[in-house]
Amino acid sequence: MRVVLLGFALGVWCLQQQGALPGGIGWAALAAAFCGACAWACAGGRACARWRAVALPLAAFVFGFAYAALRADMRLRTQLPPAYEGRNIEVTGFVRGLPSIGAGSTRFLFESESNDAGLNDFPRIVQLSWLALDGGGKPAEAPPPELRAGQRWVLTVRLKRPHGNANFGLRDAEASLLARNIRATGYVANASAARKLPRDASGIALTLDRWRAHLRERIGAALGDAPHRGIVVALAVGAQDGIRDDDWTLMRATGTSHLVAISGLHIAFVAGLAAALAGFLWRRVRWRGVPLSLCVAAPKAAAAGGALFAAVYAGLAGFNVPAQRALWTLVFAAIAFLGGRRPASSLVLAWALALVLFVDPWAVTAAGFWLSFCAVAAILLATAAHGRRASRWHGEGSDDAGGGAEPHVPVGAGSGTDEEAAVRAVTRSRSSVLRRAGLIAWRLRTRIASGARVQYAVTIGLAPLTAYWFSQIPLVGPLANAVAIPWVSVLVTPVVLAGVLLPAPLDAFAYRAAHGLLTLMCDVLAWLASPAWALWRLPQPDAFALAAAAAGVAWALAPRGWPLRFAAPLAWLPLVFPAPHAPPPGTFRLTALDVGQGSSIVVETARHTLLFDAGPGPESTHAGERIVAPYLAAEGIATLDALVVSHSDSDHAGGAQAVIEDVRVMQLLGSLAPRHPLWDAARARGGEALRCAAGQRWNWDGVEFAMLWPDAHALAGKPNAQSCVLKVTSAQGRSALLTGDIEADVERELLRRDAAALQADVLVVPHHGSRTSSTEPFLDSVGPLVAVFQVGYRNRFRHPHPGVFERYRLRAIELARSDGDGAARVEVSSAITLERFRQARARYWMDR
């Protein structure tokens, strides 16, 4: 059965790796494969029976693949037609979930019931923003009201199809939107015309959401602006949007991020407390004079009560993947116990895996799914063999220490006198005390050894996944978790639950106590994370390194006596010492990241890295901390030899501060005002800072870098005219031109000075393809083979201008657009190779 359930899970995972859903021929092949595997499994005779173990998992694999494909096809049918993107649509529906209240807007989920466009396949769930500030930073005409789950509204909205930034080595935002069934995103367009309807929607899910919102408000009233309020809210209702960036950074650096959410650990702990309480009450409750324990055994009532309370607590978490895993595990175990069965832990975990994927086939695209299930699997694998030995030893120790055997006293050894009887009694009591002390010591040692074994299993079991998802391994993770797990599970979580159950104003005391406990824990974690070696950064492993590391984990956690278990670390070598993927000397690699409406380009040579611009800041996509820095980490780039900030516009310089804080920057080159804060930020971290100027040249690994603009007599005016222009030339004479936001006047000046110097094979299009740049003479002088447009999806500037884009297309230039192709990677050597992310890593849900 385990292999069959794993076959189903593997089929679901394989479907999520496909670039397109099956067509008519594909469905016919799936049906034939499933029927053939089932016939093979059901065939009689000894010759066929031996292959049944292969046929059943194969049938389960095909069924899982087909089931996930069917679910995906049904979900993708509700699409916003491209013609309706950016148009005003009046939608009637109700609020779902917990609205996220920010400084500039309130973001919430809206379930549509009808629309004035008459679209039958209109998206059922859309994600909307109700702006609190207008485009100029002033209060909006109609600021967002207090939104609650179930409120029915008539809203005028502007929507676009689900679209996320697509970059090499980073998470897929569109997969997350699909998993949550969000088929369109947008904002409330005419807030003053919004109408709240008198009758609210109802339902169990909405009732639970209202309860969660009420609890969040109570916590906010009790804690105010306390620094760790967001963690208390996350532990109470599972909403993590209020956790500060400092807390997230600390948790990731110590490997304790799983503790700031209602995870499987918390649900299991709470279910254990609820089961103990239910059993205690069940033994003492009578019905018409008859104890209920005579009708239903107290252990069974305790199991049912624990599972029921776990379901409620998982609902508070919003049924995230770790919560689902713990809930299904507990429910399956409770059902088996009520039926008088005791299934193996591995079978329970396999059923939980299949049930999670049956409910949510897209769970395999989330990091929480892999971290949750692999952590439990590692613990089961590490404790399987030890548990049998421990149980045998525990049984022997219990017989000894339980006082079942009296100490041997020779017959006739002075028996009959009160003095001798007293001596024997004292000896017996001392022996009993020593035995009990020994038993307590043995149990304590066993608990410590068991905890250490679990920490060891989880640490090495999750290390490859942590490197894959986060490009780092917290070396202090085992010690930090040894402190934080019991602290949060035994102290903080019960106190938070007490606050949930207590009425006001008593709940405020519990929430403040929980916050005080979290403050102590965070202080300890900050001290543990303070050494520079506490966090080990690794590049994102490829498929081979990840598979080898996974095999090494299973090898290391195998039972004692497994052959060559000491050699398991050898399988980790591809993960710890990855093969170099830098370009050869004399060549370079240019990666234009998809940062939305902005620009960020990474240029790599054999041993050096330059970043040209860092994308937008917090006012837009938070590109510095969410895209650029994570991409550098995934590529294993811990040091930037140069950071060039072309000019001060926020879509180019906004993310630079976050990059400087996360990555060591040796030199900052920029066209910035003298008092710009980036200068001080770079110098404070030991980097050199100077203005970029025409004539600057340097050579890295046989690749020449030349700054063409600006100079001391640069054109006055807006920052675009001061943009740095950088040309990179390989040893073979192939080159790339990075132009920032220069416009026609700068292009004419560059042509007047030296038109031949502008010739390049790769061109990052000036000013995102605006109509004020990319003049005909400039394009003729550059003569690019490849042109990259860095533009945001349906950006408000409407970049690139249709006429400018047509100007490039008519010249038969190979084009890449970040809004449609995602990130673009160009290998420049004797030849030019262009790779577009959405083509190279295509998935069926991508809006291409």
Domain CATH number, residue 658: 3.60.15.10
Residue 305 near residue 298, CB atoms below 8 Å: no
| Last residue in a domain, options 158, 176, 202 | 202
Q: Is 708 helix (H, G, I), strand (E, B) or coil?
A: strand
Residue 153 near residue 201, CB atoms below 8 Å: no
CA 604 to CA 615: how far, in whole Å?
Answer: 18
* Phi, psi of 535, deg, nearest 5: -120, 120
Instruction: Compute CA distances 820 → 596, 756, 769, 786, 793, whole Å.
Output: 11, 32, 15, 16, 8
- 360, part of any domain: no
Report how many domains make up the chain.
5
| DSSP classification of residue 139 | B
CA 453 to CA 432: how far, in whole Å?
Answer: 31
Instruction: Compute CA distances 491 → 204, 230, 449, 762, whole Å.
Output: 30, 17, 22, 59
Residue 528 near residue 254, CB atoms below 8 Å: yes
Q: Tokens for 517, please give them.
A: 């406990």
| Last residue in a domain, options 579, 603, 634 | 579
CA 741 to CA 599: how far, in whole Å?
Answer: 9
The residues, ordered by sequence, that sit 6+ positions from 186 with a Cβ below 8 Å of its Cβ are: 126, 127, 128, 129, 157, 158, 159, 160
Closest among 817, 802, 840, 832 to 163, alpha carbons compared? 817
- 822, part of any domain: yes
Closest among 615, 570, 612 to 591, alpha carbons compared? 612
CA 117 to CA 138: how far, in whole Å?
Answer: 32
**Residue 122 is part of a domain; what is its CATH number?**
2.40.50
Q: Which residue has the tokens 């949750």?
A: 372
Verify that 426 and 280 share a domain, yes or no: no
Half-sphere exposure (CA, 13 Å, Cβ side) for 438?
13
Verify that 689 and 746 share a domain, yes or no: yes
Verify that 752 and 785 share a domain, yes or no: yes
Residue 340 near residue 312, CB atoms below 8 Å: no
What's the pLDDT score for residue 387?
A: 52
| DSSP classification of residue 121 | T
Domain that holds residue 561: 366-401+417-470+542-579
Q: Is 664 helix (H, G, I), strand (E, B) or coil?
A: strand
Verify that 796 and 828 share a domain, yes or no: yes
Q: Which residue has the tokens 């670039």?
A: 19
Verify that 527 and 552 share a domain, yes or no: no
Half-sphere exposure (CA, 13 Å, Cβ side) for 545?
18
User: Which segments in the chain show pLDDT lower than 50?
Assistant: 388-416
Verify that 823 and 807 share a domain, yes or no: yes
CA 646 to CA 582: how far, in whole Å?
Answer: 25
Instruction: Compute CA distances 776 → 770, 803, 813, whole Å.
Output: 13, 11, 14
Verify that 623 and 769 share a domain, yes or no: yes
Verify that 553 and 671 share a domain, yes or no: no
What's the pLDDT score for residue 134?
A: 59
- 207, part of any domain: no
| Last residue in a domain, options 202, 221, 256 | 202
Distance of CA 616 to the CA centre of its chain: 21
Verify that 712 and 774 share a domain, yes or no: yes
Phi and psi based region of residue 636 (left: phi greater than 0; alpha: psi -120 to 50; beta: remaining): left
Sort 440 into a burial class: Cβ within 10 Å, 0-12 / 13-18 / 19+.
Answer: exposed
pTM given for the model: 0.88
Verify that 92 and 196 share a domain, yes or no: yes
Q: Cis link prior to 710 (omega < 30° from 0)?
A: yes
- 681, part of any domain: yes
- 355, part of any domain: no
Burial call 702-717: b when 16+ CB within 10 Å, e when fewer: bbebbbbbbeeebbee
* Phi, psi of 266, deg, nearest 5: -65, -40
- 565, part of any domain: yes
Burial call 55-92: b when 16+ CB within 10 Å, e when fewer: bbbbbbbbbbbbbbbbbbeebeebbbeeebbeeebbbb
What's the pLDDT score for residue 403?
A: 39
What's the pLDDT score for residue 46?
A: 55
- 603, part of any domain: yes
What's the pLDDT score for residue 291?
A: 77
Which H or E element spans position 195? strand 195-196
CA 375 to CA 201: how far, in whole Å?
Answer: 39
According to DSSP, the β-strands at 152-160 and 105-115 are unpaired
Verify that 98 and 172 share a domain, yes or no: yes
Closest among 16, 64, 61, 59 to 41, alpha carbons compared? 59
The residues, ordered by sequence, that sit 6+ positions from 447 with a Cβ below 8 Å of its Cβ are: none
Verify that 91 and 65 share a domain, yes or no: no
Instruction: Compute CA distances 679 → 654, 683, 686, 689, whole Å.
Output: 14, 6, 11, 6
- 228, part of any domain: no
